[in-house]
Structure 1
């Protein structure tokens, strides 16, 4: 009897321990984020199998997986038709849906992440000259592009099943323009080498595409979205570079703007009139206080710089650019601000690429606009704009370091739409 009781006790303890261990393993396992997306190579690509079983790959898919994994979540991503995905999102059947252009309708029922992808939309035509908005426009049925055209009052002449059909229709003259992502068109042209008229590209917009999460999911896991957004830029590194033609246009525009600024402002006098510190410790002290108070409140030093003639001239010049220039500043050889068009988030710019890359170029012997630095595209969540920073040295250059650096923040979309550059 005692032997039986002892065995039963050991068995019960063993089962209890197994249950505890199994529970611990389950608790340690990352939760799963159930998502829908749609087939859109090279961003989301359906693998072999059905919509429910095929592995989904592609650049945007990998970005979402990366950010979710670093936030502590597993992902289950499936391809679904748009109608089913939206139905499932509205009824919280899935946790979320990507990669979707910002939608007023979805904003009322779900929470939008920062961009998980950046597409570059162009009207592609076979006609020379400026794009004619009255052209017969073709688009992929059910796409983000189609929704955008409808929202913005364009008349759609034809909706088709795939981008390859659009290219064929464009080459045959059945449509006058096709709206699609630049990379999609490049891939199509590489795959389809058939002779035909040259394709001309007319920039329309940068299209930030988002992950929409259900309100129920966000309410249950309130920390997920802020953490996902914080991690996203790291997971998107390298995806926000300017293409070759875009960089050429930005460089041409920067050349004009910087030359114009030299004619508006005496840079040398501006630098001489600005405060200058004796040592780096003083710079760091001022920068620390500046960062704590900005952007809501200027320090005494910031207020002084904002009132300098150089800053007032920069501000007036920036406003006259009608939205093209978001920020303008003059940086001295210590990396501190000598003039600014508005209050910046920090005083010392010497640790930032807009300063360091120009100095690196001048130390290699490059001068003037040959030493120009152009940053990758950056999404500003506060303004929902895409920004590019350009910076260039101001002579004289002593021991490889320029007397000053001009740095301009540009609205990337406005820059690429500008008609006064090639």
Structure 2
């Protein structure tokens, strides 16, 4: 019964035009500093981000834009070599397992490097470059311990209310930010 009341309340806020993660901010921050931070600091995430930063660290904006354009075109195409290459990475397999094991709490998970480019993901994202979005800017640029919580949105495919929760990926050896990770969180399952 409580689940139904929460859903009705959350949907009421959404339709009233007051879509904000503030209703769930406390629970989302607890999740961000607990389970999400634990996953962001896993050896799988750290190793993959460090490796990709070695490859993409010298990319300029023109190269980033070119890659993002290719990704967006592939998202609408049958042939998806760039997307397949990311989904075939061990990190993507790990993130898919984390999502599957979350009992519907996590709707998506993706990791970004020091340029805001996708390193691995549980499902295909609409774009490859996240570096122009708050989920990356407010975490990677802010450094260790940064958390970004997006507004609530209704997911058209699942008909659930979700918020994106992002945290900084930190190199445990140096304490420096090396990337970021974003989790789509079904707030009805908090």
Question: TM-score with structure 1 length normalisation?
Answer: 0.39
Bigger radius of gyration: 1
- Are the counterparts in 1 of residues 50 and 178 from structure 2 also a CA contact under 8 Å? no
Query: Which of 166, 175, 178 is 1:403 aligned to?
Result: 178
Aligned with 1:344: secondary structure? coil
**Partner in structure 1 of residue 11 of structure 2:** 208
The superposition leaves residues 103-161 of structure 1 with CA deviations (integer Å, 9 ceiling, x where unpaired) of xxxxxxxxxxxxxxxxxxx96xxxxxxx9xxxxxxxxxxxxxxxx8xxxxxxxxxxxxx
Q: Does 1:242 align with 2:21?
A: yes
CA distance in 2, matches of 1:360, 1:382: 32
Judge which range, 284-293 or 344-353, deviates more: 284-293
Give the number of the structure whose residues are more often helix, by fraction. 2
- Are the counterparts in 1 of residues 40 and 167 from structure 2 also a CA contact under 8 Å? no
Q: Does 1:332 align with 2:134?
A: no
- Are the counterparts in 2 of residues 290 and 298 from structure 1 also a CA contact under 8 Å? no
Aligned with 1:208: secondary structure? helix
User: Alpha-carbon deviation of 1:263?
Assistant: 6.3
**Partner in structure 1 of residue 154 of structure 2:** 379
**Partner in structure 1 of residue 165 of structure 2:** 390
Structure 1 segments unaligned to the other structure (5+ residues): 1-121, 124-130, 132-147, 149-178, 180-202, 210-231, 416-422
Note the aligned Cα RMSD (angstroms). Answer: 3.0
CA distance in 1, matches of 2:167, 2:10: 29
CA distance in 2, matches of 1:279, 1:263: 27
CA distance in 2, matches of 1:295, 1:205: 35
User: Alpha-carbon deviation of 1:342?
Assistant: 1.4
CA distance in 1, matches of 2:79, 2:112: 18
- Are the counterparts in 1 of residues 169 and 178 from structure 2 also a CA contact under 8 Å? yes
Aligned with 2:142: secondary structure? helix
- Are the counterparts in 2 of residues 206 and 413 from structure 1 also a CA contact under 8 Å? no
User: Alpha-carbon deviation of 1:295?
Assistant: 5.7
Give the number of the structure whose residues are more often strand, by fraction. 1
Question: TM-score with structure 2 length normalisation?
Answer: 0.81
Q: Does 1:412 align with 2:171?
A: no
Number of matched pairs: 183
